[in-house]
């Protein structure tokens, strides 16, 4: 079933990814869903690197609104969300009521199914209300990173043609209202109505500012915006919500920026509701749990694996504060007796390294998710020991995959949680292929491909990138290098595009980065390929066009540490393989990163190439 167009003027590259994907594939002959061993069902079939997730828990064809309504019916008066720093508690009924107020107000602005609403804020109550209010009427919430610079905000708003922008005045990342005033000086032009007509943001009509205080003439406060809702609008909500298709896009999340312009990933109700359900199942989360959401809601880790995991189980969301702060997070965990904690390695590292950690009682913690980057073994071990996260799970995912594809089980031994990203999620297919798209044998390295309900609808209005991401049978190429073992456990090795051809061998920079990070003086490292350096003093060096690649390492040293390039190379020679010893080494204070904090290797490479060419010209 293909989804209806989001609006008449949208040319949207849609992939009907359920084609060729049988979500009710039976178990092997003689087995039943009740009797078959789930571990056996998640193993590769034969000797090929192909796995299909279990199907004992059927996919639910529901919208976000339907999922919320079901939870309200079951747990209406129980706490849905605790905003710890604000000392505020919201019940499931209250979340539903206030979200419907937002939905009615959006109708008052004239919004319709498929219209895009930008949300640029740290974690706060209004984010939840906007998400579920927009979903109720079939609008699409566009997750905007508060760390965006003005050029990135302008690109995102224009790319997806947002009609409404809900904006925090400021966050720890900066003055957002001030930045918008620079982009759209028309905001301050006097007018009878708070409707924007901007030259640089031609599609944006309504700017809604969070919090009290003065606002520009063509903007309005969130509290005033809510008054646009009418009784008639509220009466329309049930019929509008019932007419929605779970295959409709409900969330646009920008990804990329490490190699070029960000891409807007379109995710459906069907995708993110079910992905949240299965992530909760892997962690054994239920209505009695309290999930600490310390990471940002503009990312899938916060929205899907945090908010929607609670919505689909009845667990309580606990927000330590608007932005991540280690002490506020530890205080929220201790005070509210949180049982689940999600985050990336950097978040967990900040908690573990904080000198006041021993003063907080984290014994209530049980499980959670670590995601977003390779998980260092020592960090995972410390999280289990010091944060009491005995059942902490590791996931592999990407925004385009809804997000989770692989996840460890709560009872997997620590060595497997350190070395792998677990086994495939239910109702998802995975294969690993060689450069000719042939499935490789078990244990062989290749590119990871994913197919199933969770995969994105496509990149918004980017038919070429969408076509490039999929093959003709609906398999999405992740761009990640991986292996599958005989038990179905996946190991992520690196990125296809980042491999470096050194001599006659392909080297994965991620493995070299992990090696360098083991050096006691190193805090972080990024490794990438650069053109092979012309050997100094040699007239027989190969012409530039015939040279291979060399490994370049950018290194951030630990506070107070000092090291030389040769010291790093000697360490790599002693601990690794010959091909893993870097050539050029640069020590830096920080890496260039995207707004979401991902290292921009293309910028590092460009800088090094310029530096190397200048040095070569000088010594020629």
Residue 10: the pLDDT is: 31
Domain boundary residue, one of 251, 285, 304 = 251
Confidence of residue 510 (pLDDT cuts 50, 70, 90): confident
Task: Report the 10 Å Cβ neighbour count for 559.
Answer: 6
Q: Is residue 117 part of a domain?
A: yes
Predicted confidence (pLDDT) at residue 443 exceeds the cutoff of 60: yes
Structure tokens at 179: 């930045």
Confidence of residue 609 (pLDDT cuts 50, 70, 90): confident
Predicted confidence (pLDDT) at residue 75 exceeds the cutoff of 70: yes
Domain boundary residue, one of 251, 280, 303 = 251
- 350-368 pLDDT, tens digit each: 999 999 999 999 999 999 9
Q: Is residue 66 part of a domain?
A: no
Predicted confidence (pLDDT) at residue 259 exceeds the cutoff of 70: no
Q: Is residue 1 part of a domain?
A: no
Q: Is residue 25 part of a domain?
A: no
Q: How many domains does the chain have?
A: 2
Residue 126, domain extent: 94-251
Residue 200: the pLDDT is: 97
CATH number of the domain encompassing residue 122: 3.40.50.980
- 370-400 pLDDT, tens digit each: 997 677 788 899 999 999 999 999 999 999 9
Residue 296: the pLDDT is: 95
Confidence of residue 41 (pLDDT cuts 50, 70, 90): confident
Q: Is residue 339 part of a domain?
A: no
Residue 22: the pLDDT is: 28
Residue 46: the pLDDT is: 87
- 293-321 pLDDT, tens digit each: 999 999 999 999 999 999 999 999 999 99
Sheet of strand 476-484, all strands in order from the earlier edge strand to the far edge: 50-52, 428-433, 446-452, 476-484, 490-495
Question: What integer is the mean pLDDT of 214-239?
Answer: 96
**DSSP letters along 36-52, please?**
S-HHHHTS-STTBSEEE
Closest to 348 (Cα-Cα) out of 294, 288, 276, 401: 294
Question: Measured between alpha carbons, how far is 348 from 302 in angstroms, rounded to an integer?
Answer: 15
Domain boundary residue, one of 228, 251, 274 = 251
Predicted confidence (pLDDT) at residue 247 exceeds the cutoff of 90: yes
Predicted confidence (pLDDT) at residue 12 exceeds the cutoff of 90: no
CATH number of the domain encompassing residue 609: 3.30.300.30
Q: Is residue 5 part of a domain?
A: no
With a pLDDT cut of 90, the percent of the chain lying above it is 75
Structure tokens at 575: 């601990």
Residue 576: the pLDDT is: 87
Q: Is residue 81 part of a domain?
A: no
Q: What is the pTM of this model?
A: 0.83
Q: Is residue 608 part of a domain?
A: yes
Predicted confidence (pLDDT) at residue 541 exceeds the cutoff of 70: no
Confidence of residue 615 (pLDDT cuts 50, 70, 90): low
Asked whether 263 and 254 are in contact (CB, 8 A), the reply is yes
Asked whether 172 and 122 are in contact (CB, 8 A), the reply is yes
Residue 533: the pLDDT is: 64
Strand pairing of 446-452 and 428-433? antiparallel
Range of 9-13, 126-130, 515-519, 575-579 with top mean pLDDT: 126-130
Question: What integer is the mean pLDDT of 233-255?
Answer: 96
Residue 131: the pLDDT is: 98
Task: Report the 10 Å Cβ neighbour count for 496.
Answer: 17
3-state secondary structure of 149: coil
Based on its alpha-carbon atoms, the radius of gyration of the chain, rounded to whole angstroms, reads 25
Question: Measured between alpha carbons, how far is 478 from 459 in angstroms, rounded to an integer?
Answer: 14
């Amino acid at each position: 079933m293909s989804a209806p167009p989001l609006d008449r003027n949208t040319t949207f590259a849609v992939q009907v990814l359920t084609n060729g994907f049988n979500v009710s594939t039976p178990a092997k002959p003689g087995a039943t869903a009740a009797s078959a061993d789930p571990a056996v069902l998640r193993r590769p079939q034969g000797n090929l690197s192909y796995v299909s997730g279990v199907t004992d828990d059927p996919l639910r064809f529901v919208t976000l609104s339907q999922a919320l309504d079901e939870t309200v019916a079951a747990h209406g008066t129980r706490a849905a969300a605790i905003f710890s720093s604000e000392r505020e508690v919201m019940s499931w009924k209250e979340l539903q009521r206030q979200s419907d107020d937002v939905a009615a107000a959006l109708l008052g602005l004239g919004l319709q199914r498929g219209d895009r609403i930008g949300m640029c804020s740290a974690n706060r109550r209004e984010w939840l209300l906007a998400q579920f209010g927009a979903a109720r009427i079939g609008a699409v919430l566009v997750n905007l990173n508060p760390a965006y610079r003005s050029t990135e905000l302008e690109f995102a708003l224009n790319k997806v043609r947002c009609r409404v922008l809900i904006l925090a005045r400021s966050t720890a990342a900066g003055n957002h209202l001030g930045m918008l005033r620079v982009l759209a000086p028309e905001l301050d032009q006097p007018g009878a109505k708070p409707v924007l007509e901007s030259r640089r943001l031609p599609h944006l009509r309504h700017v809604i500012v969070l919090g009290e205080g003065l606002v520009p003439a063509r903007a309005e406060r969130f509290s005033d915006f809510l008054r646009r809702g009418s009784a008639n609008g509220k009466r329309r909500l049930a019929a509008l919500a019932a007419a929605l298709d779970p295959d409709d896009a409900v969330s646009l999340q920008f990804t990329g920026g490490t190699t070029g312009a960000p891409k807007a990933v379109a995710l459906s109700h069907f995708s993110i509701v079910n992905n949240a359900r299965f992530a909760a199942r892997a962690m054994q989360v239920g209505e009695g749990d309290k999930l600490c959401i310390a990471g940002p809601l503009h990312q899938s880790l916060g929205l899907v694996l945090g908010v929607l995991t609670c919505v689909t189980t009845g667990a309580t969301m606990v927000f330590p504060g608007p932005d991540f702060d280690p002490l506020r997070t530890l205080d929220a965990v201790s005070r509210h007796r949180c049982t689940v904690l999600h985050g990336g390695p950097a978040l967990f590292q900040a908690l573990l390294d904080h000198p006041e950690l021993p003063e907080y009682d984290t014994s209530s913690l049980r499980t959670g998710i670590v995601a977003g980057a390779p998980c260092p073994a020592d960090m995972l071990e410390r999280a289990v020991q010091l944060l009491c996260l005995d059942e902490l799970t590791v996931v592999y995912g990407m925004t385009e995959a809804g997000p989770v594809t692989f996840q460890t089980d709560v009872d997997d031994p620590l060595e497997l949680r350190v070395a792998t990203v677990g086994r495939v999620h239910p109702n998802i297919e995975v294969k690993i292929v060689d450069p000719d798209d042939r499935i490789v044998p078990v244990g062989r390295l290749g590119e990871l491909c994913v197919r199933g309900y969770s995969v994105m609808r496509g990149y918004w209005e980017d038919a070429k990138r969408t076509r490039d991401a999929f093959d003709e049978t609906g398999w999405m190429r992740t761009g990640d290098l991986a292996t599958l073992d005989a038990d179905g456990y996946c190991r992520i090795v690196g990125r296809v595009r980042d491999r470096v051809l050194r001599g006659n061998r392909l080297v994965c920079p991620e493995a070299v980065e992990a090696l360098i990070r083991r050096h006691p003086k190193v805090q972080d490292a990024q490794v990438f390929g650069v053109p092979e350096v012309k050997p100094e003093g040699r007239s027989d060096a190969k012409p530039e066009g015939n040279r291979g690649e060399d490994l370049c390492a950018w290194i951030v040293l630990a506070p107070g540490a000092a090291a030389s390039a040769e010291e790093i190379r000697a360490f790599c020679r002693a601990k690794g393989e010959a091909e893993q010893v870097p050539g050029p080494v640069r020590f830096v204070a920080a890496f260039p990163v995207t707004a979401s904090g991902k290292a921009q290797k293309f910028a590092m490479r460009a800088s090094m190439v310029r530096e190397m060419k200048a040095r070569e010209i000088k010594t020629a």
